[in-house]
């Protein structure tokens, strides 16, 4: 397991950047580089359920480990969800990465926002994460600065 970090400075207040990150419409725009048609469904409760899904409805089962809007959110990934809605949190494949974190930290940077992202994942996903976050953060910046 490795931790990857990404950072961008956005000429917009933290709340606006937060809203771009987690608004249903804009979330799909910046996450398209991971998988087109991505959606996030969450009860927005610490310890509750959050799903990161592809266009077919399959994806990751997660929980919110920490939530301090608009300063930070930390997701803990627990398992996989198949397109039929079956959760897998117990298989050997899932247990190899279950418990990894994805952190979004928004820092006031003199009226701008520094968005810092950290994601733990397997080495084999590094190129995919690098590509997705590099392109995705640019979309977040564009949306937050122009909406």
pLDDT at 1: 84
Q: Write out the residue range of the structural domain in which residue 141 sits.
A: 2-146
What pTM, to 2 d.p., does this model score? 0.94
How far is 51 from 60, CA to CA, in rounded Å?
A: 6
As for how many domains the chain has, the answer is 1
Output the tens digit of pLDDT for each of the chain's 147 residues: 899 999 999 999 999 999 999 999 999 999 999 988 999 999 999 999 999 999 999 999 999 999 999 999 999 999 999 989 899 999 998 888 899 999 999 999 898 999 999 999 888 889 999 999 999 999 999 999 997
pLDDT at 102: 97
pLDDT at 5: 97
At 115, phi and psi to the nearest 5?
Answer: -100, 120
Sign of CA dihedral 129, 31, 120, 98: negative
Contact 94, 79 (CB under 8 A): yes
Helix (H) or strand (E) holding 60: strand 59-68
How far is 63 from 20, CA to CA, in rounded Å?
A: 20
Region of residue 125 (phi > 0: left; psi between -120 and 50: alpha; otherwise: beta): alpha
Structure tokens at 66: 């920490």
pLDDT at 91: 92
pLDDT at 122: 86
Place of tokens 């009860």: 43
Contact 27, 143 (CB under 8 A): no
pLDDT at 96: 85
User: Which CATH number is 119's domain given?
Assistant: 3.30.530.20
pLDDT at 47: 97
């Amino acid at each position: 397991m490795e931790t990857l970090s990404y950072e961008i400075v956005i000429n917009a207040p933290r709340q606006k950047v937060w809203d771009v990150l987690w608004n249903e419409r804009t979330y799909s725009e910046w996450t398209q580089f991971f998988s087109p048609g991505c959606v996030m469904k969450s009860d927005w409760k610490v310890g509750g359920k959050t799903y990161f899904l592809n266009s077919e409805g399959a994806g990751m089962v997660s929980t919110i480990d920490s939530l301090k809007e608009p300063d930070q959110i930390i997701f803990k990934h627990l398992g996989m969800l198949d397109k039929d809605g079956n959760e897998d949190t117990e298989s050997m494949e899932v247990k190899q990465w279950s418990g990894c974190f994805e952190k979004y930290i928004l820092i006031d940077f003199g009226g701008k926002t520094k968005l810092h992202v950290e994601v733990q994942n397997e080495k084999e996903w590094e190129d995919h994460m690098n590509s997705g976050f590099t392109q995705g953060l640019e979309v977040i910046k564009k949306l937050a600065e122009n909406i």
